[in-house]
Amino acid sequence: MSADTVKKFISFDALPGFLARVAETGTVYAPRREGGAVVYRPLKPGDAPELGARPTESCKHVVFPRSETLFSFDLKAERPALTESPEPGPAVVFGALSCDARGFLAFDPVYNGSGTGGSARDTYYLRRRSRTLLVVKACKSALNTCFCNWVGGGPASPQGADVLAVETEQGLVLDILSEQGAAFAESLPAASEAQAGAALAAVKAVEDSLPGAAELSAAPAALASLFSSAEFWKNESAHCLYCGACTYLCPTCYCFNITDESDGLSGVRLRSWDNCMSPLFTLEASGHNPRPNKADRLKNRVGHKFSYYPSLHAGRFSCCGCGRCIKSCPSSVDIRKIVLDAVKEAANV
């Protein structure tokens, strides 16, 4: 958080009313408790977001729905027709984690054609992305699974955010980071010097509480050098159940599958999240599978995030260090350990 940016203030009491007004012109997604999980859901008027809870899932589904209808078709009709899905409306994610906002930055070059991996632009992603405003809520503490600071982030990183909200005793100080963020917070009063000072102190406290970052600059080359090391990957993947929890919860996993669901000659074309830890991900129609075992699949997942993606996107890792894959893995597979093991192993080869 910079001392130089415009800062606004909203009290906790005023927040539900403010968000209800925002929701009159679009959908406001915010953390909500559902069963044992904290998920980003559309906020009902008058509801307060659960800002103290750490979302179990990322908010990537706001711009990349779990399953989305691309178009419907009716080839039975007298005049066969394809009907595009309706344009999405504006959305605000209020209370995103800073790592989740950085996750969007990993999606962007893949879907907007600006990376060196290809020039295709994905209309379905881009139209949601351009209409989504991100209000990041700075974390007040880090979990032992968090490692955002290893990969260029931090608990109050402004990267990818339109507004950075920092909790103080009386309410939220909103650091305005984009034009859209300024429009969002236009009706709110400026933060006082004391409020802005309290926010800066809160950010410093949480940043200071984080353990030091591991040095990962050697990771891309190390992982590339271990591509053919079957033994290394067999050991690292020994406990993996290939359940896919890591991919579905990951804010930077962007693979999808396309399916047609039809009743005879009419139906819909869907795009749905896919999961590279599943053997079905690469199963070809011939029956051949280039990644038949879990070692191959884990190598691909880790290698993609820490080696192949950086080689296509200016050295940036496609992991934001949220730690969800570590926290939610039923077999305690820890991506940090795999990357550090790879760096060590490559240095010893």
The residues near 193 (Cβ < 8 Å, ≥ 6 apart) are none
**Residue 301: CB minimum distance to ligand SF4, A:** 8
**Residue 259: CB minimum distance to ligand SF4, A:** 22
Which is closer to ligand SF4, CB of 77 or CB of 241? 241
**Residue 282: CB minimum distance to ligand SF4, A:** 15
The residues near 120 (Cβ < 8 Å, ≥ 6 apart) are 113
Which is closer to ligand SF4, CB of 173 or CB of 240? 240
Chain centre distance of CA 287: 33
| β-pair partners for 263 | 266
Which is closer to ligand SF4, CB of 181 or CB of 303? 303
Which is closer to ligand SF4, CB of 131 or CB of 313? 313
Tokens of 340: 């550090």
Phi-psi region of 62 (alpha: psi -120 to 50; beta: other; left: phi over 0): alpha
Nearest in space to 24 (alpha carbons), one of 78, 89, 87: 89
**Residue 234: CB minimum distance to ligand SF4, A:** 14
The footprint of ligand SF4 (CB under 6 A) covers: 240-246, 249-252, 277, 305, 319-325, 329-331, 333, 335
**Residue 307: CB minimum distance to ligand SF4, A:** 13
Which is closer to ligand SF4, CB of 138 or CB of 249? 249
**Residue 167: CB minimum distance to ligand SF4, A:** 23
Which is closer to ligand SF4, CB of 99 or CB of 174? 99
CB 93 within 8 A of CB 32: no
β 67-74/37-42 pair status: unpaired
**Residue 22: CB minimum distance to ligand SF4, A:** 28
- At 344, the amino acid letter reads K
DSSP 108-159: HHHHSS-STT-----HHHHHHHHTEEEEEE--SS--TT--GGGGT--TT--T
Which is closer to ligand SF4, CB of 153 or CB of 181? 153
β 7-11/81-84 pair status: unpaired
